[in-house]
């Protein structure tokens, strides 16, 4: 059975969209550094790190330097771009 696709955040994603996705999909597990979300968004904008949501990892945003070998759907400012 093939695994579900991952949802990768595009580096041109606006702050407002990034924040909305993070607020709705990432579960708050306790105290976090002030403005951590803004710093993560800056890493995305500068293309220093990759960010994605994986349906197999509930309640968290994945980040790293290499994407899993799966189908990718790119999320960009209210649009989805499918990459087979």
| Phi, psi (deg, nearest 5) at residue 39 | -70, -40
| Interhelix angle 36-45/15-25, nearest 10 degrees | 130
Global pTM value: 0.81
- Tell me: the pLDDT tens digits for 18-76? 998 888 888 876 666 678 889 999 999 999 999 999 999 988 999 999 999 999 999 98
Instruction: Report d(CA 62, CA 28) in Å as an integer.
Output: 14
Domain boundaries, the chain: 6-27+34-83
């Amino acid at each position: 059975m093939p695994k579900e696709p991952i949802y990768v955040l595009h580096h041109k994603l606006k702050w407002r969209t990034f924040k909305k996705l993070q607020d709705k999909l990432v579960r708050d597990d306790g105290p976090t550094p002030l403005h951590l979300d803004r710093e993560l968004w800056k890493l995305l904008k500068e293309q220093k790190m990759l960010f994605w949501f994986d349906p197999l990892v509930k309640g968290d945003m994945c980040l790293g330097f290499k994407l899993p070998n799966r189908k990718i759907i790119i999320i960009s400012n209210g649009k989805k771009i499918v990459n087979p």
